[in-house]
Amino acid sequence: MDWPRVRAVWKRVISLAWPVMAEQTFRTLMRTVDIVVTATFNPASVVAIGLADLYARLPLRIGLGLGGGTIALSSQDSGAAADANRDEAITQGILLGALLGVPFMLLGFFLSEPAIRVFGAGQNVENLDRVVTLGSTYLAIIFATAPARHVALIGARALQGTGDTRTPMYVNVVANGLNITGSLALGLGFAPLGIPRLKIVGVGLATAAANVFTASMLCLAIWTDWSEADFAWPEDWVIAKQLIVVSTPKIAEGFASTAAEFPFNAILLGFGQPVNAGFQIGRRMYQQVTGPLSRGYNVAASVVVGQRLGEGDAAGARFEGWAVAALGLLTVGGVGVGLVFAADTFVSLFTSNPGTVGYAVAFAQVYGVCGAALVVFSVLSGGLQGASETRIPFVARTSGVFGLQLGLTFLLGVVLGWGALGAYVGIGATYVWMSLVVAAGFHFTDWADRAAEMMAERGSDVSVYG
């Protein structure tokens, strides 16, 4: 093992990853504050915002998917010093994202009420009407800024692809701070300044305003001399085609993961409400302590692999991808082990319900044990994304969540009667499978040649890979 080289990679990865980690931490805090503020209004508001957020994940998945395609092309062309192609890829990604946000604006304006009402079959009519009114209003406000949300996600990843992870952090930290302040002020009201108590409408307006602010500031950073990137008049349809080719599996992966959550939660509810509550708490605990780390390493892996490929160094790209995975194993894997032993303490911060505590601890420990597998999947998925290979992570996640998380849990938990134990096994098997598939794909497949062919097709300078 070439330890000096590994340490050099780790040093660069940490410099790329820590701003992403900080950004994700503030994003998580913002969502937590929104829920806490909403909970002060009434139970119907909490249900309403929860249902609306299920739909809000759709533009999130599209934005992340297009962002994945944009960071792939941006990082490769930055490594190849193909600035014109990089700038056009960034421009086309942002324009495509804005365009794909328009249908969500129309959905929010015309169909938000039936979208929320579809969840209400068999519920108390009076309560349902209240939830539908609140949820549809919140959804319409959020979807009104769907184009801005797409632009924000894609713009951040475009800059990250150039190696600039700090500008998106600065913008998003400020935006999330404004969102938190706005949710508190507009949601709860502040009489000394004449700010009315708008409740769930205020929370929605704060989020919408933050979306517009983030998109505007990132576009301004690209347009001015603040960043190396710039906007370019879109002329090359090859770049547009490649953005779609790379982004589509990433979008489909996100949609598949979201779709699988509904039947999986139904199975857990079949085992009893405490089981489902324990799952939500255990997963949230793991995501809270490891999510920012994993996201940071995922982005860093995309950048270092993509830029190495742009330089024509396939062997270096492969080495650095594995080096990031090793760093993830040491850090996130170590945190996971700690969570296994500290699960009781962490769970006590979330709930004291005796029926829920045991399941929450067990689910947290399952996620902790799976921490190594989860971070390997996240890092190597990022590396493959930097190489424009998003099909392998799509296959890994989709087969895992449907075949194992759903299928194996149903077989063991329902058919064989194992109950919650079947879910523990199903979740563990899912993440081990996902990590093995992407590891095999990263090691055995010809993603470097694929990246070289795509770069040559769009006219970027690239060496022939050996």
What does the DSSP assignment read for 283-329? HHHHHHHHHHHHHHHHHHHHHHHHHHHHTT-HHHHHHHHHHHHHHHH
pLDDT score for 42:
77
Cα maximum dimension of the chain: 69
CA distance 444 to 144: 44
The pLDDT assigned to 210 comes to: 95
Gap between the Cα atoms of 403 and 50, Å rounded: 27
Tokens, residue 28 = 């998580």
**Whole-number pLDDT of residue 376:** 96
> 206 exposed, middle or buried (CB, 10 Å; 0-12, 13-18, 19+)?
buried
| pLDDT at 120 (0 to 100) | 60
pLDDT value, residue 118: 78
3-state DSSP assignment of residue 181: helix
Q: What is the pLDDT of residues 391-434, one digit of tens each?
A: 999 999 999 999 999 999 999 999 999 999 999 999 999 999 99
Contact predicate 219/156, CB 8 Å: no
Cβ atoms of 297 and 326 within 8 Å: the answer is no
In the block, tokens 């062997």 appear at 315
Give the C-alpha separation, 203 to 30, whole Å: 11
pLDDT, residue 298, reads 95
- What pLDDT does 250 receive? 94
Residue type, 96: L
> Do 354 and 368 touch, CB atoms closer than 8 A?
no
Cβ neighbours of 286 (radius 10 Å): 26
The amino acid present at 110, given as its one-letter code, is F
pLDDT at 138: 93
Residue 304: name the closest of 292, 328, 322, 291 by CA.
322
For the chain, 466 residues long, the average pLDDT of each consecutive 10-residue run is: 87 94 85 79 77 86 94 94 93 96 95 82 57 90 96 96 95 94 91 86 95 97 92 91 95 91 86 84 82 92 95 94 96 92 83 83 93 95 96 97 96 95 96 97 95 91 48
Write down the pLDDT at residue 412.
97
Amino acid occupying residue 152: A
3-state helix, strand, coil in the chain (%, to 5): 85, 0, 15
CA separation for the pair 353, 351 (Å, rounded): 6
Contact 142, 112 (CB under 8 A): no
Q: Which stretch of DSSP H or E encloses residue 355?
A: helix 354-369
Cβ-contact 310, 325 below 8 angstroms: no
Whole-number pLDDT of residue 461: 65
Number of Cβ within a 10 Å radius of residue 122: 5
Under a CB-based contact definition with an 8 Å cutoff, are residues 92 and 240 in contact? yes
pLDDT score recorded for residue 26? 85
